[in-house]
Structure 1
């Protein structure tokens, strides 16, 4: 995937010229326009072209919709939409000539009925073939939607063999249905890969006059991590709400680190380093009399 289309997709499928130029050159943008990688939908606004129908691609190849394409059809949240339909066909079957372009996968156990791989099979296919963070986002979403349960996922991953089976088991072990967005899953994946422990998804902070839920919270160190997307925080009302929430958490002894999509996706080393620096300074911060007094009778609860 080119850098241009990567930026567009990670901004939800559209981007302005200024948003693209923050990460790629003007020449790269012009080249992407010329070869059809992106298209202009308004003055200074660009989008990815519509993807081919995965069900049509599956019929054309006498296969079944699978991997990320199946995850989308099942309603799972995904980090990146597939650039072309992903189809699985039996081993030994050759690609058929078709005007519908697709990405083919081969397997021994291709279901003979149905047009889409089952929910558990889809999660495991994504877990074994995608990067850890992207696979975790799919698994988290499937658990959150109760499309699969944790025991099914663990058993299914344990029974896998062949390429990607270790990666799938790692995803299954880390998956958590409390996660509420792909970006939150990616932020948690960064912590896992960096060996940073103690953070839990959707920690609730509550006392008599205040209640808030934190994307990732460290209850012992009182560190809160938020994965912020512009879609949920880009209005004046949202800004006012977020500022008050931030102040209220600070009063109660929490240190809140907010990371944008660009932070998490394009500068993960900086994100991890920032979290480590805050954790390193936690003992002195939380031993001060003022901070201890600010905590009062607040309750820190894990969302089940």
Structure 2
């Protein structure tokens, strides 16, 4: 491997086996953002160059301070499972696994997606480097064999963002692929010019996705719900600034403000206060607010769309319940 390595301290060389730590090795990697530059997969030569001797490497593996992922590939025990599985198979993280690693939207990264070069050999089970891949069940692992846009892009264990997006477009539902494209652009993982290469690399049947891309979205769930509403024929404006309120995620038909909550963000009490204050201010300005959860956007889009349809109808025609409640009150009063 060609990444530059730096030993933070030589002290571990003088200590016992329990003191040897791979955390003294830093990999200067401009492509990797999720680990602040830390190199998680290193070769035997990298370890030797850092000052370790062969007996140190053997002792570190035996003491579980170091994992021998596959031949000539080593990692820390706490290294991400998807990274270990991809390297152990004999490839690199791909598709949604690569998106999660690089830092843009991935709908479901539970399974490890692995890109395998067509000329690859000695493929192994994702769970054991001693078991050939052909003899192992592939549950939990998705293999990608498509040729890459740029095999030199990315890291030793993860394909580059352009290839990850090309794989996602062909592997995932269109709405999730759109969210990946939107957020990759928004987070500056790719440039607008890269879209030409990405769409030239995939079948023409996916070309319609390009006209729906909008890099202004803050998060993948916003992209998914916006596309849901637009596909249903509603006019959607995103990241709209409203006086006294600030920016809102989506404004539908000029009257319904839709706020899409994230998957993992647990709000503090102060954030709840801020949201309720925004809702009150929006109501005072004549807007209706719909707050939708991540799980509802992803797993119950029909229910989210029905809720929006009702709110838009209320904005346009008023609520039928207003008369019904007044009528019922009159009957009870009589």
Task: Provide the TM-score with structure 2 as the length reference.
Answer: 0.59
Structure 2 match to 1:68: 96
Larger radius of gyration: 2
Q: Does 1:261 align with 2:294?
A: yes
2:271 to 231, 238, 246: 238
Deviation at 1:145, TM superposition (A): 0.9
Q: Which residue number in structure 1 is paired with residue 108 of structure 2?
A: 80
Tell me, in whole angstroms, the C-alpha distance in 2 between the residues paired with 1:256 and 1:109: 44
Separation of aligned partners in 2, 1:233 and 1:279: 29
The CA deviation string for residues 231-266 of structure 1, in whole angstroms up to 9 with x for no partner, is: 556433222222211110111121111112343233
Aligned-CA RMSD value: 2.9
CA distance in 2, matches of 1:112, 1:227: 36
In structure 1, the partner of 2:251 is 217
1:144 to 182, 186, 191: 186
Report the equivalent of 1:160.
Answer: 201
How many residues in Structure 1 have an aligned counterpart in Structure 2? 226
Please state how far the C-alpha of 1:275 moved relative to its aligned partner.
1.5
SS at match of 1:107: coil
Distance 1:87 1:231 in 2: 25
Kept after mapping to 2: 8 A contact 1:141/1:180? yes
- The structural deviation recorded for 1:81 is 2.3
| Uncovered stretches (5+) of structure 2, i.e. residues with no partner | 1-77, 129-137, 319-334
Q: Give the Cα–Cα distance (whole angstroms) in 1 for the partners of residues 262 and 268 of structure 2.
A: 12
Q: How does 1:40-189 map to 2 (within 5 A)?
A: 53-83=81-111, 85-91=112-118, 96-98=123-125, 99-100=127-128, 102-109=141-148, 112-113=151-152, 114-115=155-156, 116-153=158-195, 155-162=196-203, 165-167=204-206, 169-189=207-227
Following the alignment from structure 2 to structure 1, what is the Cα–Cα distance between the partners of residues 143 and 177? 18
Alignment partner, residue 204 of structure 1 = 241
| Structure 2 Cα separation of the partners of residues 121 and 133 of structure 1 | 18
**Maintained 8 Å contact 2:282/2:289:** yes
Q: How does 1:6-45 map to 2 (within 5 A)?
A: none
Higher relative contact order (CA 8 A, sep 6+): 1
1:276 maps to which residue? Answer: 309
1:12: which partner in 2?
A: none
CA contact (8 A) 1:68 1:81 kept: yes
Where does the alignment leave 5 or more consecutive residues of structure 1 unmatched? 1-49, 286-304
Cα deviation code 1:65-106 (max 9, x no counterpart)? 2111111221223222232x2111134757723335742111
Distance 1:204 1:232, change over 3 A: farther
